Amino acid sequence: MKCTRNVNTPLKSNLRSVVLISLFSAVIAVCSLICIPFTVPFTMQLFGVFCSFYLLGSKKGTLSVLLYIFIGAVGLPVFAGFRGGFGSLFDATGGFITGFVFSGLAYWLSTKALKNNKYSKEISLLISLLVCYIFGAGYFALFYSRGEYLKSL
């Protein structure tokens, strides 16, 4: 009688999830370093975030984004422009970083709502892009309008 093992034990499944979440956090970090400098830097960061949503799913993808944000908030220079630290979450581009988390929520909700659609993942990515830009542009406008207001005083 042969002794067979179940390959998908919970431990292996959890280990695989942790490795994939960590790997995609690193992918996002590398993508954020590819930067074209503008007032709001144009990076490949959002590409890494959306790859994690698309390939890992909304829950694990959002966990990889949260891990990336945690790594950057601790002080490792993984944000755009080789920046890091907790203060980076509150500068002009901090709304985009915060928007990544809400993009994951939007991706999850829209894939659930569009589950019978052939292009549900692609439409969900467009919706989550809109959510990310609403957070990013809104915070950017608030940041700079507040600065202009303080200069006029």
Which tokens sit at 2?
């042969």
Which residue from 126, 141, 147 is spatially nearest to 46, judged by alpha carbons? 126
Name the CATH architecture for the domain at 12-152: Orthogonal Bundle (1.10)
Q: Which pLDDT score is estimated for 91?
A: 86
How far is C-alpha 23 from the chain's CA centre? 13
What does each of the 153 residues of the chain score in pLDDT, given as a tens digit? 565 555 567 777 889 999 999 999 999 999 999 988 777 678 899 999 999 999 999 999 999 999 999 999 999 999 988 889 998 898 888 899 999 999 999 999 999 999 888 899 999 999 999 999 999 999 988 888 876 545 544
Taking residue 5's Cβ as centre, other Cβ atoms within 10 Å add up to 7
Longest dimension (CA), the chain: 85
The beta strand positions in 2-150, using DSSP E, are 35-36, 42-43
Which tokens sit at 129?
């892009």
Q: Which pLDDT score is estimated for 37?
A: 78
